[in-house]
A and B are shown apart, each in its own frame.
Chain A
Amino acid sequence: MGWIQAAVSTVAVLVLGIATPVAHAALEGTVATEQLEVDVSSRSVAVTSGFNGTELVVFGSVANSRQDSPESGYYDVVIVVEGVMSPVVVRRKSSVGGLWINTASIRFGSLPSYYAIASTRPIDEIADADARNLHRIGFSHVPMQVASRGFSSGLSQSELMAFQESVVRLKRKDGLYVSEDYSVAFIGRSLFRAAIGLPANIPVGPVTARVYLFRSGEMLSMADVRVALTRQGLDRYLHTMSKSQPLLYGLLCVALAVGAGMLGSTLFRKASH
């Protein structure tokens, strides 16, 4: 029997050219392990002048799924979508002589500009803190390395934590850090999907979707897929020009202003005659 199974698997590999672990598992005579295969609805998103946010559908399937029905809750899926990593300066105000002034600041070297979690149920029910920390799942596990401290260097650990919490709070307020439990749904025994809203204010840059498959707190498989979020059209042209040829861009702004001012007065002078 074993050689038949092996032969069938080998044929499958030759024909389909995919899913080697399936074949390996079968070849070794062990039980086939689950394997994630994921993709997104769009591998590239254009940020144009009309960009008003978009919806990204992350979908995938569990190869060798052992669940009987989509509703069984046998597997847990967690999707983490991270935007471009960028440095952030966090400032804290305090009252100085009756005025509220920025008095303390911390610069975090690199943290995700956008961070979304979608899961089949609340993430603390899916995995323990160690696993979540290891895989950077959850707002409290977003990496925040202090790059430099300004104004007051003697910040205590609890103050540092207050700064880190403020980043998450402010990012959530801006809609850049989002989490939605129960937003990943199985459609069949192995197929699942989740819709993730990329907001209009998402910083432009590469976006990565990481997908984790859990079973009873144990991570079985992980896969990731990248989405290129790039400026396109007029917006790209103007943004690039403002950075690479700022003098020309500045002169263009002035020329536009002079043109608009002159055109306006000419039009209205004619209209009033």
Chain B
Amino acid sequence: MKLTFPALVAAAVMAAAPAMADLVVPNMSYRTGPYAANGIPYADGFADYFTLLNERDGGIGGQLIQVPECETAYNTEKGVECYEALKSQNPLVLNPLSTGITYQLIPKIGVDGIPLYTPGYGRTSAKDGSVFEWVFNAPANYWDGASVAVKHILDQEGGDLSGKKIALVYHNSAYGKEPIRTLEELSEKHGFELTLLPVDAPGQEQKSQWLQIRREKPDYVIMYAWGVMNQVALQEAVNIRFPMDKFIGIWWSGSENDVRPAGAGADGYKALTFHGVGQDYPLYEDLKTHVYDAGKAAGAGDQTGTVLYSRGAYAALVIAEAIRKAQELAGTSEITAAQMRDGFEALEITAERMEELGLPDFGQPISLSCENHGGDGLARIQQWNASEGKWNLITDFIEPDAEILDPLIKADSAAYAQEAGLTPRCN
């Protein structure tokens, strides 16, 4: 048989594109570049959860889920290229796993009608669904994290922070600067002194900041870092003998990767988290049977149960539940991106549902609405045990300070609405 070039191209395109009836949930990952060590476990967890649904349940509502992967290398330009390439595959939702990429995509997704799901990252004020119609950032955002960290410190200090000093060591980027306004407001409310210590990316050299911490002796250090900045900060804190139980990282500063290089010195370091960790959940039995043992795992199998693997799987779980809700609302299993958005807005994940899904007490209940795209923003504290080489959850879920956060979110989203010429909805 003689094949012409156009026929070959058409065949290749058809082979690469998902079948029309499949639900497409792309995995915008970074398995290469300076942040690969963090991108790989997240991408594996995300892909493995959907593989489990396909293998065990035949997809969702009888529809298989396609998870095409696009490598962003945690680079904003590449992320936007991925978006343009994935758009033609009619994705139901995108999870770009980068605050920088998220900021670039927010104006685009509104025009193209594709929901963006940014759990624990991205633009905090996207929680306000009346302005950010297509963006969802449940279950928690950066400002929730800052507030929960301060609440934990309050708890440690018997409810009084007056006269105390808290330093924020942060990645000098849009991401790292996110909690500043919240912490300034909280410092006014609780009477603690806030010191801001920016570190330029990538963060391999932080001596000035840690010398300052050694001189000024803050009572607590909160950290918003990413990649190599985490490992170096942990090592510098160990070097100056800063008490580790008074050093609290955001969830992006709280993976095994961040603490292991500092060895025994990192023992006692705390980090926020909005989900459980480890493999002691019934879900892993199903993953083992249907994914790992069947040779269908996305990675080498060495990341299961780690913090970032768990986070990737959790993101996939929330998306899967939103798909179910969207199918229910639309009365069809072949949903569109617009119907997926409706599914997100009506999403309800209760504690009982988490148990049914094999992850009891893993995540907080999520209940979204037209106004609330960010959930309740609860977070827990986990603490690193260096000798056992594992994170232990040391608190229950803690509520953020809505009295401080709600007005901040309203103000920021209103400013965006004005800048973008949007009329708030949900009335």
Partners in one complex: no
